[in-house]
Structure 1
Amino acid sequence: MKRQSTLIKMYFLLVYADHIIDDKELLAGKKMAQYEKIDEASLQKEIDTLRNTDHSVLYKEVIHGMKQLCINEQVRFVAWLSIIANADGFMDEREWQLIYKLYSKDLHLSLADIMLKQKELKQHIKKSQGGLRARA
C-alpha cells in the first residue's frame, strides 16, 4: 500500500506542478493507475486528501517512499511521470524540474533506463488501447 501511496503522491505533485489540470494528463494518470492496479476510487480519494498538504512535505514523503522501493520500481514510477507530463503534448518547465530533481538529484537514476521503461510503458498503453478499439 505504501508503494501505491508514493506513486499517487508523485502523480499529484506532477499534475499540480504547473497549476493547470489537463484532461490528457488525468487520462494518462488513469492508465497508470490501471497498470499499477490502483482502483480509480482509491486514486481519487487519496488525491482529494492531498489537496491541502504542503507540496514540500509531500515531496519529502515521496523521496522517503521511493528509497524504500527497488530500482526497477523507481525507474518505472519516474517513467510514468514523464509519460503523464507529456500527455498534453507539452512538458511544462515546472514538471520537468520536478522530474529532474527526483530522478537525477535525489534518486540518482539513469535517464537511459527511464527512457527505455517509458518506451515499454507507451507500448503497453498502445496495445491496451488497440484491444479496446477492436472490441468496440
Structure 2
Amino acid sequence: MNTRSENSILIKLYYLTASADGRISENEKIFFKAMCEHEEISEDEVESTLPLLMSREEDEVMNECIKDLKTRSKKFQIEAVAWMATIANSDGFMAQEEWQLIYRLYNKEFSLDLSELLLIQKKHMKYCLKFKSMHAA
C-alpha cells in the first residue's frame, strides 16, 4: 500500500500524462480508475488532488513530481512511470507529447531499466483491460 504522498504523485502523473496531448480520452479515465483500484487510492484523495491540478502550470506540477519521485525507491519510480505508459497506451497509441513526458522521466531524470519498466507496464495493462471488461457499460 502506498503512502498518501505516493498516491498524490500517481494522481499528478496521471493528470500530466492524460492531458499531455490536449484531451483526456474515455480509456484514459477508465485506466485511471483501474490504477486507483489497484493502488488503493481513495476517491477522497482523487477529489482533493485532481481539481487543484487543473489550475496549476504543467511545468510546475512536473517539477514537483520529479522532486518527489527523487525521494522514492527505484521500485516506486518504475511502478509510477509504468502506470504513465499504461495510461498513455490506453487508447491504442501513445501521442508524441505523452512519449516525450514518459521518456523524460524514465531515461533523462531517473535512468530506469526499460525492460523492467515494460514488464511492469504489461502487468498493469492486463489489470486495466480486465478492469475495463468488468466495468463496461
1:67 aligns with 2:67: no
What corresponds to 2:10 in structure 1?
7
Change (3 A) 1:126 1:20: closer
Deviation, 1:124, is: 3.3
RMSD: 1.7
| Mapped partners of 2:85, 2:79: distance in 1 | 10
Structure 2: tracts of 5 or more residues without a match: none
The correspondence for 1:109, drawn from 109, 112, 116, is 112
Change (3 A) 1:70 1:49: same
The alignment's TM-score, normalised by the length of structure 1, stands at 0.89
Structure 1: tracts of 5 or more residues without a match: none
The alignment's TM-score, normalised by the length of structure 2, stands at 0.88
Cα deviations by residue, 1:4-39 (Å, 9 ceiling, x for unpaired): 111111111111101111010010011011111101
Identity %: 34
1:23 aligns with 2:63: no
Higher Rg: 1
Moved over 4 A (4+): 126-130
Maintained 8 Å contact 1:6/1:62? yes
